[in-house]
Structure 1
Amino acid sequence: MQQIPLTYQTLYSELAQRSLDASFTTEFNIDGRFVAAEVKGRRYWYFDVPNSGGNKTRTYVGPVDDPEITKRVENFKDLKADMRERRKLVSTLVREAYLPRPEGKTGDVVRALAEAGFFRLRGVLIGTVAYQCYPAVLGVRLPSTSMVTGDADFAQFHSISVAVDDKMPPVLDTLKTVDPTFREIPHQADGRFTTKYSSRSGYKVEFLTPNTGSADYESHPTPMPALGGASAQPLRFLDFLIHQPIRAVLLHGAGIPVNVPAPERYAIHKLIVASRRRTDKDGTAKSRKDKIQAATIMEAMIEQRQTEDLADAFMEASDRGPAWKEAIRRSLSEIDDRERDTVQAALARGIQKLGRDPAEFDFGGAAATPKP
């Protein structure tokens, strides 16, 4: 894989910093003030703005123990939007560093939901749109063939949606600012709830949440108090994917600060879901795409010497139970021989460095006994 020159990696880091800074200047009115409040033993930042009735409107910002958020709270008065300069940075990263940018409608949808507060409320961008962020995050160019998509997926833990005590404006109204033909798609199991929205052209936006209980729950939509009237489709394995997400920037417009899954979790999750795709009209194609994305990220992390992070995620998933371990094993067995050998050998080394025995994870062959 071709490494992105350090100059452009530095530009991306600058863009990430300035984009997050700018999101504060545009989202929070200068007439308001930040306050810290304790909820269930943990302190959170909120933003209070006085209203015409002599009261105040309170907005959730994030945990006090998040150093990046607290730093921006402290420096709020000094932050200034610099959209024109950030647009230049995005243009440079796309044209000169050949980093991917999303298709126009995708970028507009993500930006609209970001401005509505989705990521501030600890939502996570997932799927192929999130995958487009990883070349800049990992510092390598990834194949563009596995970045094509016609929809956008967003996820949030139900517990977070309840706990933040704040909510977005109506999701449908937000999406209509991008395309007025967006409409709600009533859930098949219960038409009172909506987890998916579609435009006239067929572009789809879906909200998802982890299902950590019985598989029966996957047929029932979950109301999400923070998501502006949207519910979410429960999915197995999603809790692993969106645990401890990272910050990234989607290269659209002036840069959109987003939360995406950690790349190691994205890769392992793709191995799991690839083996469980139903062989319906597009299940095989999706499974193939899943495995390509997983193998590509794993190879990139290995090249960037992030093997231990990958091994840690691999062990966590494998320790979830036999079904998880078998799903990973099956997908690994179906990727290219050279890629599989590289990944298995690296995982074995990482597992050994983390104090476990690679033999526990059924690699087989030489991969289970890494060279010192």
Structure 2
Amino acid sequence: MIKQIDLMFRTMVAELQQRAFDDDWAEDFPPSGRFVPVAVDGRRYWYFDQPDGEGGQKRRYVGPADDPVISERVETFKGEKSDYKARRKFVSTLTREAGLIAPDRFTGDVVQALAKAGLFRLRGVLIGTVAFQCYSAYLGIRLPSAAILTGDADLAQDFAISAEVADSLPPILDLLKGLDPTFRAVPHISGSPRSHAFRNQTGYRVEFMTTNRGAEEYSDKPANMPALGGASAEPLRFMDFLIRDPVRSILLHGAGISVVIPDPCRYAV
């Protein structure tokens, strides 16, 4: 039986989620830079210009201007002081006393590395069983831990977004090898030189998926994803439905990781 957690813990989740997002924002967008609106195909997007130390500017993608959370942060732009220790206490309380689910340590480290590298800033979405773990905090309910054991991390990004943001993660394989040097790219079943999955010697997998609104012939070939740091993605039907209008939540690992997951309403159909 699913049981709602106490109001005190639900309030703590909301506070932790905001603080984690604040900390990521302050780290990604220091006061030395400035936000710039850019129009692309009739829509406005925010980019961030920062001095590169050589007399020029480095431009990074921030997000759509019609995202109210992002636009509010742009308007009130300032650097926030990190409160890492306080957030760790929040996570500990929520997992030990409220009974919310935390990922295994390695999964948490993988998601944290991807988050710090900018995956969610580039509108990536955490999907699969790891995302399911985040619904406990998002909905304020206890979920059975036996139902959400995992040995992988699944991520998704819209194909059009990856092609248009003009920004990219650092090399994914290098990022993963920083956590475990045994990570290797997994050859695609089609024989393509591109890879959408990475695996370490214990069998832990990190996989990337994307939307497929095109012909059926694209279904069996990994899609080139310019924003994913050299990783490709497996194109899947109906993925566009799953990751449309995602929501922000928190993964209860370390000091809390601000993540983006599918709206739980997507599973109600």
- Specify the alignment match of 1:176 in structure 2: 177
8 A Cα contact 1:24 1:76, kept in partner: no
Cα deviations by residue, 1:68-124 (Å, 9 ceiling, x for unpaired):
112222333252211111111111110110100001110000000001111000010
Residue 104 of structure 2 aligns with an amino acid whose one-letter code is: E
Q: Does 1:252 align with 2:253?
A: yes
8 A Cα contact 1:247 1:260, kept in partner: yes
- Specify the alignment match of 1:161 in structure 2: 162
Query: In the aligned structure 1, how far is the partner of 2:77 from the partner of 2:200?
Result: 37
Matched positions, count:
268
Query: In the aligned structure 2, how far is the partner of 1:103 from the partner of 1:170?
Result: 24
- Specify the alignment match of 2:130 in structure 1: 129
Query: In the aligned structure 2, how far is the partner of 1:45 from the partner of 1:83?
Result: 27
Cα deviations by residue, 1:5-55 (Å, 9 ceiling, x for unpaired):
011000000011111110011122332222222222211111111123311
- Specify the alignment match of 1:85 in structure 2: 86
Q: Determine helix, strand or coil for the equivalent of 1:113.
A: helix
Query: In the aligned structure 2, how far is the partner of 1:73 from the partner of 1:91?
Result: 31
8 A Cα contact 1:8 1:97, kept in partner: yes
Provide structure 2 residue ranges, at least 5 long, that are not aligned to the other structure.
none
Cα deviations by residue, 1:221-267 (Å, 9 ceiling, x for unpaired):
100010001100111221111111111000001111111011121x2
Larger relative contact order (C-alpha < 8 A, sep ≥ 6)? 2
Q: Does 1:19 align with 2:2?
A: no
- Specify the alignment match of 1:150 in structure 2: 151
8 A Cα contact 2:249 2:260, kept in partner: yes
Query: In the aligned structure 1, how far is the partner of 2:87 from the partner of 2:73?
Result: 18
Q: Determine helix, strand or coil for the equivalent of 1:169.
A: coil
Q: Determine helix, strand or coil for the equivalent of 1:219.
A: coil
- Specify the alignment match of 1:215 in structure 2: 216
8 A Cα contact 2:30 2:79, kept in partner: no
Query: In the aligned structure 1, how far is the partner of 2:216 from the partner of 2:252?
Result: 37
Query: In the aligned structure 2, how far is the partner of 1:69 from the partner of 1:120?
Result: 10
Query: In the aligned structure 1, how far is the partner of 2:160 from the partner of 2:181?
Result: 31
Q: Does 1:236 align with 2:237?
A: yes
Query: In the aligned structure 1, how far is the partner of 2:181 from the partner of 2:31?
Result: 31
8 A Cα contact 1:211 1:238, kept in partner: yes
8 A Cα contact 1:210 1:237, kept in partner: yes
RMSD: 1.3
Q: Determine helix, strand or coil for the equivalent of 1:233.
A: strand
TM-score, reference length from structure 2 = 0.96
Q: Which has the higher helix share?
A: 1
Query: In the aligned structure 2, how far is the partner of 1:186 from the partner of 1:234?
Result: 16
- Specify the alignment match of 1:37 in structure 2: 38
- Specify the alignment match of 1:355 in structure 2: none
- Specify the alignment match of 2:112 in structure 1: 111
The equivalences for 1:293-308 within 5 A come to none
Query: In the aligned structure 2, how far is the partner of 1:144 from the partner of 1:107?
Result: 16
Query: In the aligned structure 1, how far is the partner of 2:230 from the partner of 2:199?
Result: 15
- Specify the alignment match of 1:72 in structure 2: 73
Query: In the aligned structure 2, how far is the partner of 1:118 from the partner of 1:74?
Result: 23
